[in-house]
Amino acid sequence: MAGKSEQNAVVLDKQRPANVAQKSMKHHLILEDPAAAFANVRHEFGEHGGVNMSIEASITFTVMEPENLSRMFAGELGPDRDFFIYSRHLNPTVLNLSRLLAALEGTEAAYCTSSGMSAISSVLLQLCSSGDHIVASRSLYGGTYALLTHFLPKACNITTSFVDIRDLNMVEEAIAEGRTKVLYFESISNPTLMVSDILALCRIAHSKGVTVVVDNTFAPMVLSPARLGADVVVHSISKYISGAADVIAGAVCGPASLINSMMDLREGALMLLGPTMNAKIAFELSERLPHLGLRMKVHSNRALVFATRMTKLGIKVIYPGLENHPDHGLLKSLANKDYGYGGNGDFVC
Ligand SMILES: *Cc1c(COP(=O)(O)O)cnc(C)c1O
């Protein structure tokens, strides 16, 4: 899929090969925790030895040896050896944030985008061609639902069947083998707060050669879809990850082969549609990521206290942290330890 840019791998951390986790069970467990994974990410210092990375505010880069230019365009020299072409392709400060996102989700690589919707549309356009088919949960963020219902069929002849993601038979029957390329759902859905059985859904999709894409916007740290088997995790960083409702941003986390194919100079959706992130935004966000775990714990704690109080007052609350939520047991069984059940609850008026 990645073609020539394979050598150009935007890998999370060259010092930590993928098989390290299997070597020792203890190490494996540490790497499974997203906060520990953050601590393991390669830390880049600033240009003058600063404790934070410098902001690489340039869109284009100098190439000191003319012969290197053709090697860069051939994909032989890439970001892993500090060769950057152009910031729509990849910027060092954006790569630094992308490493953190890959660590958060336990994927080989990640790429940060200008919005959650651009992350979602780019990855779907990379995985599907005209005539292909997607099976998606009918309980989705409104923008994603509109993309699948209206935009993709009209502009790209990519069609979607919507299913009740809790009905595993329905999911299986909706998959048209060969034609269905993607199974798409949200880990915890916005706004209905349905929890997806990520393990079971991945099993079904993979038995039919279908790629699983999970939107984990509502459950960063709480759930790790890729650690449970999903191929690709997408985020709207605009919500919990940014944490202050001040930045629109997104990310695609997945295998290095996919991320590289999305950056391909001739066929990559990220490179050619151009939804790249600005380096200054990437720097700002990279300062907030190390505290995400602490924030999620407090969000979850407060939401549970609030939902419990409201329930006692006789108000009907939908919150997956409450035992009366139909997916409470499922979420408890899939969730990472100590991050609770998320910060979102719905009130039925
Ligand atoms: C907000 C949101 C999006 C879209 O993200 P933007 O950053 O606003 O483009 C996608 N999925 C979910 C679950 C969301 O909540």
Per-residue pLDDT of the chain (349 residues; tens, 9 = 90+): 333 344 444 554 443 333 333 334 444 444 578 999 988 898 889 999 999 999 999 999 999 999 999 999 888 888 888 899 999 999 999 999 999 999 999 999 999 999 999 999 999 999 999 999 999 999 999 999 999 999 999 999 999 999 999 999 999 999 999 999 999 999 999 999 999 999 999 999 999 999 999 999 999 999 999 999 999 999 999 999 999 999 999 999 999 999 999 999 999 999 999 999 999 999 999 999 999 999 999 999 999 999 999 999 999 999 999 999 999 999 999 999 999 999 999 988 7
Residue 8 belongs to a domain? no
**Residue 27 resides in a domain:** no
Model pTM score: 0.92
Do 313 and 284 lie in one domain? The reply is: no
Q: What is the DSSP letter of 181?
A: E
Query: Same structural domain for residues 72 and 176?
Result: yes
* Contact status, residue 240 vs residue 343, Cβ threshold 8 Å: yes
Say what the pLDDT of residue 75 is: 82
pLDDT at 82: 87
pLDDT of 74 reads 86
Q: Are residues 314 and 286 in the same domain?
A: no
> Rounded to the nearest whole angstrom, what is the distance from the C-alpha of residue 107 to the centroid of ligand 1?
20
Say if residue 342 is in the same domain as residue 281.
Answer: no
Q: Whose CA is nearest to atom 2 of ligand 1?
A: 236
Same domain, 246 and 329: no
Under 8 Å CB-to-CB from 129, ≥6 apart: which residues? 158
- Final residue belonging to a domain, choices 268, 290, 312: 290
> Would you state the pLDDT for residue 5?
41
Distance 81 CA to ligand 1 centre (A): 33
| Amino acid 27: pLDDT | 43
Instruction: From 290, 311, 327, give the residue that closes a domain.
Output: 290
Q: Is 191 in the same domain as 95?
A: yes
Q: Ligand 1 centroid to 324 CA: how many Å?
A: 27
> Which of 113, 217, 285, when mutated, tests ligand 1's pocket best, judged by the most ligand atoms within 8 Å of its CB?
217
Within-domain flag for 174? yes
Domain CATH code at residue 139: 3.40.640.10
DSSP code for 195: B
What is the model's pLDDT at position 335? Answer: 97
Using DSSP's 3-state secondary structure scheme, residue 259 falls into helix
**What is the distance in A from the centroid of ligand 1 to the CA of 217?**
7
Q: How many domains does the chain have?
A: 2
From the alpha carbon of 250, which atom of ligand 1 is closest? 7
Burial annotation 165-193 (CB, 10 A radius, 16+ → b, else e): bbeeeebeebbeeeebbbbbbbbbbbeeb
Pocket of ligand 1 (CB under 6 A): 115-117, 141, 143-144, 186, 190, 215, 217-218, 236, 238-239, 248, 250
Among the three residues 248, 270, 290, which one is the final residue of a domain in this structure?
A: 290
Tell me: do 252 and 272 sit in the same domain. Answer: yes
- Structure confidence at residue 244 (pLDDT): 95
User: Is the residue at 191 inside a domain?
Assistant: yes
Decide if 284 is inside a domain: yes
- Two structure tokens written together for 23: 């070597």
Tell me, yes or no, whether 130 lies in a domain. Answer: yes
Residues 6+ apart with CB under 8 A from 161: 133, 134, 135, 136, 174
User: Is there a single domain that holds both residue 143 and residue 168?
Assistant: yes
Domain containing 154: what range? 66-290
Type of residue found at 100: L
pLDDT at 10: 59
pLDDT at 11: 52
Query: Counting every residue, how long is the chain?
Result: 349
List of long-range contacts for 49-53, beta carbons under 8 Å, 24+ apart: 52/283, 52/287, 53/92, 53/93, 53/96, 53/283, 53/286
